[in-house]
A and B are shown apart, each in its own frame.
Chain A
Amino acid sequence: MTTSPSEHDIHAYVDGRLDGERREAVERYLARHPERAAEVRAWQHDAQRLRAALAGAQTLPDNHTLQPAAIRRQRRQRRVQRLSLAAAAVLCLGIGGVGGWRMRGATTAAPMADAMEAYRLVALDRAARPDVVPQRAGDMQAWLDAHFEHAARLPDLSGAGFHAVGGRLFATDQGAAAMVLYEDAAGHAISFYVRPPGPRNHLLPTGRRVDGGLVAQYWSGQGYNYAMVSRDDGVDAQVAAEARRQSI
């Protein structure tokens, strides 16, 4: 008389996880208990059907927000938001303390203020590093073309001793802007800046603006706004003006 196998062994048998003596014991037991054997066979059959139905793993529509990288990005953004909220709170306290801090609204409305800011950041403060550094002659143009279709050609300043040394993308309210920085042997810097005109398609007339020792000479064409930015003194501004004359 065989003792009935444990519940564990019955399931392990169904799931094909039982070997050796214990498997044989279950088989001997089932041979003597046809009713139980029928149930076990039915369980095996159910398991197979379940596997068959699910093995094809219904292809679910892609959801990229579930990818680990996307989740990490969201977590970072939430952290940044919390930080900037905290920073805003501190700023409000500061403003409250000073009593009547005036926004310098004029700067944001001034044409190509962002181009001059970009120049300061990369050329003067060296606070932002270029995204790309050209290795070969056509590299900068190729990089620019990759981001701005049909934009004006990069000006060639080699006649004046200036060569492109790097490019960087910036975020503006109207979309991505790009700056290409030129330098000469003396370390003087001139930048070429291109940006989209924005939703109202605000193209700039040709003009120039001086601010804080820098001059932005701007124009528009091919659906973008451009600026050459340089120091306001010496020949740099003349080189920049010549570059603009070539581009228009």
Chain B
Amino acid sequence: MIKTDVVIIGAGPTGLFCAHQLGIIGLKCEIVDNLNKIGGQCIELYPDKPIYDIPAVPECTGEELTNNLIEQIKPFNFNFHLNDRVQELSNKDDNWIVKTTSGKKFQTPNVVIAGGVGSFEPRKFPTKSAEKFDGTTVLYSVKDKTIFKDKSVAIFGGGDSALDWAIELSNSSKVSLIHRRDEFRGAPASVQKIKELSKKNIINLFTKYSIKDVKGSGTLEEMEIKSEEGESKTIKADYVLGFFGLIMQLGPIADWGLNLDKKTIPVNTENFETNKKGIFAIGDICTYPGKLKLILSGFHEGALAARGCFKYARPNEKYRFEFTTASNTIKDRLGVK
């Protein structure tokens, strides 16, 4: 059990800056994110897209913004728990017990939800029949590539993940690559390679096809694909891999008894607390009259939520407002002279 002042859910820009504000006011926090890297949507959706509305930063990319935020909180040495998702929240006295999917447990008076539009999860096949094979022979990521050796693998998708795995697995498996259109969005060199492998009959390429059905009693045996005109084909497959990108799901947050408005959490605008004491929501996931889904709004919300956390983390102390330019205490915390 890790005891801390605040658990922040989400390592996007809003969560990172909230961590900074917590560090400034002398609180500790632990940051959990289910992606394997820091940065949230900025890194996952648009690392290379320029952002033009960060105050005093005329132009920066999602990746640059993330790197600067990481740099800014370095002095505080906060822990990140990546590739992990907060699953359960329960109340114990004046604390929250926070449990993650990997089994980590935190005890904290404050939880700050900075979860964007929820957690990123792989988009799955629309076909119902694929569900019973989910996680065994119908997969959305590759953890151990040796299981595919000498097997028939059907790969769906047109991006880099699909192309890279098709190329890689074609060395030791019988690979079929299925994509809904003629064009691929993967790197040009990979597209070229796929076309060569297809010409040499090393990869079976099916474009303008999508999944229709997966078949097999007990284990997966074959799958049916369909063209838009309704023509069907059957291909043998021991494994099916789907690479359709990530979608955002509210996930377990929906089960914590918080008031919800569609996929967002209503908060007050004084300290961004939700209907539950000690649970705050900031950034894209929160809503209030006039809410703007801007990164700069998330920064403001994080700063105020941090002060809200102080009240529960230090019930016997009075919060004192200080400027970073003038306060020696803050300079000590930042490790500057």
Q: Does A pair with B?
A: no
**Which B residues form the contact surface with A (CB < 8 A)?**
none
**Which A residues form the contact surface with B (CB < 8 A)?**
none
